[in-house]
Each structure stands twice: as C-alpha cells, then as structure tokens.
Amino acid sequence: MTYLNTEKAGKTDRYRKAVFDLYCENENGEKFIIELQNVLQQFFKDRSIFYATFPIQEQAPKGKDWDYNLKAVYTIGILNFSFPDQNRQERYLREVQLLDKQTFEVFYEKLTFIYLEMPRFKKREKELVTHFDKWMYVLKNLPKLQEKPKKLQEKIFDKLFAEAELAKLTPEEMRTYEESLKVYRDNKNTMDYAIKTAVEAAVKEAVASTEKKARQERDIEIARELKKNGASIELIAKSTSLTREQIEAL
C-alpha cells in the first residue's frame, strides 16, 4: 500500500474539491478511499459516491487515446452510526456494488462501497473467530482497552497497539518521545557504523591471512620442486618468500 495525497482538487476552481481521511493505492493501481464518520450525516451515501468519482476521473490520461479500462476503486466507511434499516437486520458490514435488478448479479465489479457500522458489532472477545472479527473488535473498543486482549496476540496487532500508544501522547509527551527517539537513532547509527567498520577490518584481515597462507603454501611447493632438482638454497630463497631455515627444513 502507498499513501496518497488526501486532497483532490476539482477540474477548475469553480468545482468543489474532496478531502479524504485516508487515500491509498496498492501495487495493482487500485485506489482505496477510507472515511471515518463519527455522526450520521444526511447525505453520507451521496458523499461516498461523489468522492469515488475523483479516483475514477483521474485515471483518464490527457491528450492520448484511451480504451476506458479502469482500475478498481474501493470506498470504505468506518461509521460510528448505523444506516436506517427497514428489515432491522443487525448487519455491521455492508458491501455495495452495481447490480442487475432482475438477476441480482454484479453488473460492475470495479466500484465497491464497504460500510462498517460499528454500533451494530456486538461480539465480545471470546466470540471473536475470524481476522475480520478481530479488526472490528479492536476498531470499536480500542479507546476503552487497558491492555491487549488475548485474542489479539498477533504481530499485526502488536504494531497497531504500538501506534495507538503514540497516538494518545500529549504534545509534550510526543516531543519527549521524539527527542528520545532521535538520541536512540543517533546512538544506533554510531554503533552500527562501529560494528560495520570492525566487521570490515576483520574480513580484510581474514582475507589477507588466507592470501598469505596460500602464497606460503605455493612457495613451499616451488621450493620442494627446485630442491628436488638440485637447485641451491640461495636460488630457492630468491625464487620464493621462504627463509634459509625454512628451505633447509623441507
């Protein structure tokens, strides 16, 4: 996922712009608009549709032929309210796409609206089964949690709770934390450089020692061959790096 600029301008200054809460893109070029809505807004559905038009229109290249092949756009609303539901179904997840009204088949798969109605999610910790259940639970209850629930003992939730701890810091606590983090990073960089230098020196010394040993073994073989053929010790010493004592000992 890549985080994108959350502010989208209209075609001209006369057109209304859009400001998303979060705007992301995955490696396939698909766009994700994430909206967090605390209270019921009369035309929130209309706003969802309006916002979705921006990532659709921006896919059109300027001044080029285009076959209208679009990348998928997802709008995700995390809502602290529920839509009026005539059937009174306790659904906390609504996934909406364009449908054929007669066959009820999905007519277009590249435009999806997902609404998470948090008040309707009422599962307790012991009832959490799926990963989606766990995310819904933590999104709804995070402000009230004093410690990480046993059902959320996973790396991704470790990261989430670490971020949440930072998010709740006061401005003064955040400044203290950032200063501490800067000191830590400076010390870590110094230590990493020292370790890197020491490792490089050790490797260089090991390579030099290996090369010296290889040269010595090569000179011994040469000296043995020359000695076998009656060469004088003086000639062998000049032809190799061996001392007179080393040559005589062969």
Tokens of 155: 């790396």
In a domain, 113, yes or no: yes
Same domain as 106, residue 17: yes
- Establish if 129 belongs to a structural domain: no
Number of structural domains the chain divides into = 2
Q: Are residues 116 and 9 in the same domain?
A: yes
- What's the whole-model pTM score? 0.64
Same-domain pairing of 11 and 97: yes
Euclidean distance between CA atoms 209 and 193, whole angstroms: 24
Instruction: Tell whether 209 is covered by a domain.
Output: yes
Determine the pLDDT at residue 10.
63
User: For position 137, what pLDDT does the model report?
Assistant: 93
pLDDT in tens, 169-223: 788 888 888 888 888 888 888 888 889 899 988 998 888 888 888 888 888 888 8
Q: Rounded mean pLDDT of the chain?
A: 87
Q: Are 187 and 117 in the same domain?
A: no
38 is in which domain, residue-wise?
2-122
Residue where one domain finishes, among candidates 102, 122, 142: 122
The whole-number average pLDDT for the span 156-178 is 84
Domain contains 161: no
- The answer as to whether 150 is a domain residue is no
The CA distance from 93 to 114, in Å, is: 7
> Domain check: are 108 and 197 in the same one?
no
Predicted local confidence at residue 84, as pLDDT: 79
User: Is residue 35 very low, low, confident or very high in pLDDT (cuts 50, 70, 90)?
Assistant: very high
Express each pLDDT in 106-124 by its tens digit: 999 999 999 999 999 999 9
* Of the residues 104, 122, 140, the one at which a domain ends: 122
- Rounded to whole angstroms, how far apart are CA atoms 130 and 203? 50
Average pLDDT rounded to a whole number, residues 147-153:
85
Same domain, 22 and 106: yes
14 and 118 together in one domain = yes
Pair (20, 94) in one structural domain: yes
Tell me how far CA of residue 216 lies from CA of 37, 139, 205, 226, 250, in angstroms: 77, 69, 16, 15, 13
pLDDT band at 73 (very low <50, low <70, confident <90, very high): very high
Q: Which two tokens stand for residue 186?
A: 């400076």
Predicted confidence band of residue 100 (pLDDT cuts 50, 70, 90)? very high
What is the Cα–Cα distance from 189 to 67, expressed in whole angstroms? 51
pLDDT, position 7: 85
Residue 149 falls inside a structural domain: no
pLDDT at 102 over 70: yes
Q: What is the spatial distance between Cα 240 and Cα 247, in angstroms, rounded to a whole number?
A: 10
pLDDT at 179: 86
Edge to edge, the sheet with strand 22-25 lists: 2-3, 22-25, 31-37, 73-79, 106-117, 93-99
More confident call, 137 vs 65: 137
Inside any domain, residue 62: yes
Is a pLDDT exceeding 90 seen at residue 78? yes
Tokens at 41, concatenated: 């807004």
The pLDDT of residue 27 is 95
List CB contacts of 85: < 8 A, sequence separation 6 or more: 91
The residue to which tokens 């559905």 are assigned: 45
Q: Is the pLDDT of residue 8 over 80?
A: no
Same domain? For 7 and 117 the reply is: yes
Top pLDDT among 25 and 154 is at 25
- 96 in the same domain as 26: yes
Check pLDDT > 90 for residue 227: no
- Indicate whether 245 belongs to any domain: yes
Q: Do 109 and 208 lie in a common domain?
A: no
Choose one of 80, 107, 122: the last residue of a domain. 122
